[in-house]
Amino acid sequence: MRSMSMIHIKDDKFSYRFMLRLICFYYVFTQIISVLRATSIYNTSYIANVLRAGISGLFIILFLLNVNYKRYKFGLEDIIYFGIPVLAIPYGLLHNQFGRDFLSDFFTAISFAVIFNYYKHMPPEIKGFNLSYLAHFELWGTFVSLVIYKLFPLFGIPIRSVGNVSNFLLFPLAYFLAYGNKLWILSVALIFLGGKRGVMLSAIALICFFYITDKRDKLKTAFVIISAVSMVALLLFFTSTPERISALPSSFQRVGSRFMKVNPFSEYRDWYSDGRLDEILGAIRQFDGSSLNLLFGKGNGFVYTVYHNGLVRFSNRHNVHFTPVAFLTRYGLIYTLVFYRGLISCLVFGIKYLKKNKEHRFVMCLLLYLFGTFVDQFTAFLPYADYQFMMCFGFLRGLFHSGRRVNHEELYERT
């Protein structure tokens, strides 16, 4: 049981509600304007970066204002999350250039540590979340966004990107599944219409995880798992040759071509041309066999060169679209192991918790999203950019670490 002396964040309902709505606005707004980037009209990543820096800055201010300094105690996890990015400043200056990437790496790492601890140490009884608001707003915001994506080509403006949705759409899927709302079907439809491979595969994994964990209806569980396996089998079949891809609806042909490159059963597979494997190999190559680099990474500002067939494909590449390697190359093995130890323990404890508290839909929702983003981390670098992930990871880490059993009625107002 967690005693009151172990609670380190003040009960500030307004801040919790305000930040939740701000995060929601950020996701939906950047999703809608992303069409400008997809059509090469304007690179909206600049706007997204400014908004993200502002939100992270607000979190840091709230953390400094609300933390109880007399009762706050740094654990090993906190020391790693805060300490290694700080130590990576001098280490990074030895290996990398001081510039925007250097400052960005340090700021995002510290922001992650702050936001993670903000939710990890907040009082469990705080009635500050409204997950229903978050899920519905993100779902319909994405719907509007995809309609805009479909309208632009009608006016002669081509869409040049393939993935038109972000991983945040996994949250409405997690919420509607957890609370038994049939809008989860619409969430899945929007994810597949968006055409981003990593999010699509994460959605399938999330649904399977839900029905394996939620064993109230064994017949439905079996049906959904068989359906998911059949969907994956059809995906592999229709992306095995260009002829089969051409039989797909036009909106799925581009993403089908990208799946064909990584389809293990396709004669046309070319994992290297996809770029992900080239990124991983290019980043790891920078270790040069140094055990010190392996333990502590190359520090803030780490960049690398991507090669393809012996030729330089990209130089000064910053992030790796594979989170374990991104952490490993930047902050080393210790940081990476601590992060994934905490994340995997959350998933394990979450499954055990729900076995004893089967009706705890709130925890189920957060756990589903955490699992979905865990899967998606193997196709992208997410933890420092996804506020919902930090929220779910921090809150569940604090709840399970405390060993406290929280009643369904005790948590949060209307979900």
pLDDT tens track for 312-349 = 777 788 888 889 999 998 898 999 999 999 999 999 98
pLDDT band at 111 (very low <50, low <70, confident <90, very high): very high
Q: Which of 96, 87, 45, 91 is nearest to 303 (CA)?
A: 96
Domain-located, residue 239: yes
In whole angstroms, what is the distance from residue 235 CA to residue 231 CA?
6
Considering only residues 384 and 236, tell me which one the structure prediction assigns the higher pLDDT: 384
Domain-located, residue 415: no
pTM of the model: 0.85
Domain-located, residue 311: yes
**34, 160 contact by CB (below 8 A):** no
C-alpha dihedral sign at 149, 153, 156, 162 = positive
CB contact set of 198 (below 8 Å; sequence gap of 6+): 163, 167, 376, 378, 379, 380
Domain-located, residue 371: yes
Domain-located, residue 141: yes
The number of distinct structural domains making up the chain is 1
In DSSP terms, 250 is beta-bridged to: none
The phi and psi torsions of 231 (rounded to 5 degrees) equal -65, -45
The pLDDT value recorded for residue 161 is 65
Q: What is the pLDDT of residues 179-225, one digit of tens each?
A: 888 899 999 888 888 778 788 889 988 988 888 776 666 666 676 67
Other C-beta atoms within 10 Å of 110: how many? 17
**160, 167 contact by CB (below 8 A):** no
Structure tokens at 300: 């803030």
Angle (nearest 5°) at CA 368 between 105 and 239:
85
Domain-located, residue 140: yes
Structure tokens at 6: 């172990």
Q: Which of 65, 34, 62 is nearest to 48 (CA)?
A: 34
Over range 35-48, report the average pLDDT.
Answer: 84
Domain range for 216: 4-410
